[in-house]
Amino acid sequence: MSTNADFDLFRTSEDHEALREAIRAIAEDKIAPYAAAVDEEARYPQEAHDALVASDFFAPHVPEAYDGVGADALATCIVIEEVARVDASASLIPAVNKLGSLPLILDGSDDVKSRYLPPLAKGETTFSYGLSEREAGSDTASMKCRARQDGDDWVLNGQKSWITNAGVSEYYTVLAVTDPDGPRGGNVSAFVVEKSDEGFTFGEKERKLGIKGSPTRELHFDNVRIPGDRIVGQVGDGLKIALRTLDHTRVTIGAQAVGIAQGALDQALAYVKERKQFGKHIADFQGIQFMLADMAMELEAARQMVYVAAAKSERGDKDLSFFGAAAKCYASDAAMKITTDAVQLLGGAGYTRDFPLERMMRDAKITQIYEGTNQVQRIVMARQLLK
């Protein structure tokens, strides 16, 4: 017979629910009112940025030892989920802050951590992540960006593509090949690059389908000199650090997808309870009810997968690779389906910008693509199964 203690494993704590209540209030009051304009104008969500900084939800994952609040993985997911419920672009602020800085937390020296994490925790800068290139997306090991050792320094040349919040962030964790003749996957190292470094520039903003409030740009390195003390981890360990990072941060993309889907379901429920056709509310039609039930069922399954993966991330479980990939893959597929169905439930109204659902549908699409396409997530899962 199971005890009550066993069931506690499947319930968020009172602290987590208090956190949800707090971040939801901020999201609805300080972020939601600007979401449509942020999308329409394709501008950075500065209002959301400021609100997150003021409330300590900007980079909640940073440990207390580095002036952060030390939120656990599930708490960080709840923050991202609740912000994404009203604005996916804004939810990328805490999500990418974790992505960009997690390599330092996992493998950085005490000096690197103490130099770069406190400014992030205080909201003085965002932190971006430079892994992908034009010809090295899913195949990260084929990257061409090079870092050549010159005395105690490294000199960086090349480019990175699809970098979230590029140009806004002061700090970037950048992966580069440090041994061109070394073994594939074991010849890459990680560095912190600062926006002010000479020779470091940005490409034009990408014109995107969704998440228009989060700038996506290329990074360009032209003989950028990096002091040797800015390396993250050991020389040659960059790709291992990058993949370990993604095991953890894929869970946050799952949380973002859950938030987008929840926002869409909320909007659809409100509409079908008000809209009348054939003399009654359309919520009374069984066909509509079946759609809503399926949407809610898939959303709840996705949420539970994300929360389990977040718990595994916090503990550093050996099966995190599978669960992180599964949570991101399932939740993002669910978000795409749920937002599409939500647009359908509103009919013509759902197709207009008078309602936020068309934006949510556009925003949901990227969750199936970034931090590893869902095809790559299935490869990750299969490899874990076949080990």
CA distance 136 to 342: 35
Q: Which of 81, 133, 218, 371 is catalytic?
A: 371
Among the residues of the chain, which ranges form H helices?
A: 4-7, 14-26, 32-41, 46-54, 73-84, 88-107, 110-121, 238-274, 286-315, 320-346, 357-366, 374-386
28 annotated active-site: no
Write the CA distances from 284 to 50, 136, 288, 298, 340, integer angstroms.
42, 51, 8, 21, 21
Among the residues of 108-181, which ranges form H helices?
A: 110-121
CA distance 70 to 101: 13
Only one residue has tokens 């406190």, namely: 118
Q: Name which of 216, 218, 138, 130 is nearest 177 in CA terms.
A: 130
- Helix (H, G, I), strand (E, B), or coil: what is residue 372? coil
Asked whether the beta carbons of 251 and 311 are under 8 A apart, the reply is no
Write the CA distances from 142 to 94, 132, 147, 148, 185, integer angstroms.
29, 10, 15, 17, 8
Write the CA distances from 17 to 12, 23, 69, integer angstroms.
7, 10, 17
Q: Which residues carry out catalysis?
A: 371
